[in-house]
Chains A and B, each alone.
Chain A
Amino acid sequence: MQTRRKPILIPALALGTLAFLYIPLMAVASFSVNNSRFGLTWHGFTWKWYLELFRNEQILEAVGNTLFLGLVSTVIATVVGTALAIGMSRFPWSKKTSAFFEFNLYMPVITPEIVFAGALVIAFASLRYFSSAFEPGMLNMIIGHVTFQVAFVALVVRSRLAAFNNEIEEASHDLYASSWYTLRKVILPMLTPGIVSGAMLAFTLSLDDFIISFFTAGPTSVTLPLYIYAEVHRGITPKIHALSTVGLLVTIILVIASQKISNSFNEKERDDA
């Protein structure tokens, strides 16, 4: 038999690849505490760029816009997307209707983001033609974000729906529960893990989005990615290093928190079973 050596190649490649992902992030973090306004040579340690962040009104406003956009669009998309997923899977639609639903559900997934953005520009221009609303700004941004979030929430919730059995639901009907009562007391509680992970996905997609925001934002609705984009075009500033590092830290906290939440759901399920 061929002897298998202890592989060194695979761990080396794997760790190298991980390093490749982290080198840029480390560079940003280390320069965020560099005491030099111009250039990237080391001039000693400082916190001053971080202090500047908290005094910069534009940045604080961008943080506020980003969170507002993320929270509002996530709430709308979670409600609408969950209803869409339940409505799609719990009713006897004809094959053609189901195919039409599916097509729309996958549209935001298969459309290249830049085409999506172009489509939104056209949609808002047409709506403006008929009304005075829909000027570039927060409303348009929320609508744009909800459009892609709805599909992702519905896909996550639907995979969850497919996983659980109908018996409990049917038992509820057998006991003369109304369909709304069954929805509230049986389906929604069982779906909670799926809804929560769908909502978390929607929220991170919103925080992460640049292109859709870029095409729908107005002058008063600058989000953090848009602010950083504009600053980078103006030239490298140490403030951006600090801001990016804060963004990185928030990401790390979000990732760990979301894993804690999904783990706690998994454990609870195991206990229930």
Chain B
Amino acid sequence: MTSEQQNDTRIWYGELTTRSALRRRGLLQVSPGLFWILIFLTVPALALIALSFATRGGYGEIEWIFTFENFSRLAGYGMFGWSPDYLIILARSLWVAFVTTTICTALAFPLAFFIARKPKSTRYVWLTLVIIPFWTNLVIRTYAWQLVLSPDLPIAKFAAVLGLIPAGSPLYPSEFAVYLGMISAFLPFVVLPLYSSVEKLDWSLVEAAYDLYSNRRRVFMQAVLPQTLPGLSVGAILTFVPAMGMFLIPDFLGGAKYMLVGNLIQQQFGKSRDWPFGAAVSLALMVLTLVGLFVFRRKGEKMEVV
């Protein structure tokens, strides 16, 4: 028996009675979309791997000379000895994405519970309030933070009074500004999937936990958290992956001092025209993202066991 028959798929479909006729029709429907993604994303993404071992020619062209130079350069070895600049950028990107995901999760819980406990009639109004910033263009939202942190407005004035920044200067570019931008950009990515988990929560388990004299912390950890883990992990992934490669927010709010790996890649494919090095950095970003996702999953599994 073939695996297909075990799958219990039908081989009879209207006038299409043979497997090959069926498959021909299927290919006809699948191929435009499949080839589109293959040609413009999957294959070039694989080509990035090959490209990362190539060399940049004098005019920004690609020379197919096999070399590890791009990776040793990424590790900091250059003409003038070792410097950790690129490694710092990589580590910083990982850290910023991790902190952003954690804070977004922490802020998303109260908001998701708040909405889920509202009467059905008003719930969608609150949800709409979360969706509107989520759908507003990121360029607009990021620029808006520049505005809020500009020197004429109270936040920067207050910071100046405290002596954190010189009077009359804005609060960006800075690490603080990058975090503000990141958290506000990705918060809805966690709130919405978490809400859909919280909405389905079995409150009787929570009641039972209280009846059995659990304190709030234990109720949360053992009755609430395991039930909301699916939404939470979706939200965490939806935040972590784009946060790792973010380029716009550090560009607007971080400046040259707080560059992330997204900006580095953009430079290589843009101004510097060093595609092989850009490919190497992209590869590093992909690997770091996958490692990060793996850690999240492992953590999630452990939580389920507890």
A residues adjacent to B (C-beta < 8 A): 1-2, 4, 9-11, 13-15, 17-18, 20-25, 27-28, 31, 39-41, 80-81, 83-84, 86-88, 90-95, 101, 103-105, 107-108, 110-123, 126, 143-144, 146-147, 150-151, 154, 172-173, 176-179, 181-182, 204, 207-208, 210-211, 215, 224-225, 228-229, 232, 236, 240-241, 244, 247-248, 251-252, 254-256, 259
Q: Which residue of B lies closest to A4 (CB)?
A: B210
Query: Which chain A positions have C-beta within 8 A of B188?
Result: 21
B residues adjacent to A (C-beta < 8 A): 3-4, 7, 9-16, 19, 22-23, 25-30, 32-34, 36-45, 47-48, 51, 107-108, 110-111, 113-115, 124, 128-133, 135-141, 143-148, 150, 152-153, 183-184, 187-188, 210-211, 213, 215, 241-242, 244-248, 252, 261-262, 265-266, 269, 275, 278-279, 282, 285-286, 289
Report the Cα distance A1→B26, complex, angstroms.
61
Q: Which residue of B lies closest to A88 (CB)?
A: B30
Report the Cα distance A83→B26, complex, angstroms.
9
Given A22-B133, A240-B143, A112:B245 Cβ within 8 A: yes
| A10, A22, A119, A208: the one within 8 Å of B45 (CB) | A119
| B33, B113, B130: the one within 8 Å of A81 (CB) | B33
Query: Which chain A positions have C-beta within 8 A of B3?
Result: 94-95
Report the Cα distance A181→B244, complex, angstroms.
47
Q: Which residue of B lies closest to A231 (CB)?
A: B143
Determine if B51 and A122 form an interchain contact, defined as CB atoms under 8 angstroms apart. yes
Given A24-B148, A228-B139, A244-B143, A120:B110 Cβ within 8 A: no
| A114, A143, A210: the one within 8 Å of B137 (CB) | A210
Determine if A80 and B282 form an interchain contact, defined as CB atoms under 8 angstroms apart. no
Report the Cα distance A120→B39, complex, angstroms.
9
Using a Cβ cutoff of 8 Å, how many contacts connect chains A and B? 274
Min C-beta distance of B61 to chain A, whole Å: 10
Determine if B45 and A115 form an interchain contact, defined as CB atoms under 8 angstroms apart. yes
The 4 A-B pairs at the shortest CB distance, nearest first, are namely A112-B245, A87-B29, A91-B26, A24-B144
Other 10 A-B pairs with CB < 8 A, given A107-B41, A236-B150: A4-B210, A13-B110, A24-B144, A27-B144, A80-B36, A81-B33, A113-B247, A119-B40, A173-B13, A248-B136
Report the Cα distance A229→B252, complex, angstroms.
9
Query: Which chain A positions have C-beta within 8 A of B138?
Result: 208, 210, 225
Report the Cα distance A114→B270, complex, angstroms.
12
Query: Which chain B positions have C-beta within 8 A of A18?
Result: 111, 129-130
Determine if A24 and B141 form an interchain contact, defined as CB atoms under 8 angstroms apart. yes
Q: Which residue of A lies closest to B10 (CB)?
A: A92
Determine if B45 and A25 form an interchain contact, defined as CB atoms under 8 angstroms apart. no
Determine if A27 and B14 form an interchain contact, defined as CB atoms under 8 angstroms apart. no
Query: Which chain A positions have C-beta within 8 A of B111?
Result: 13-14, 17-18
Min C-beta distance of B38 to chain A, whole Å: 6
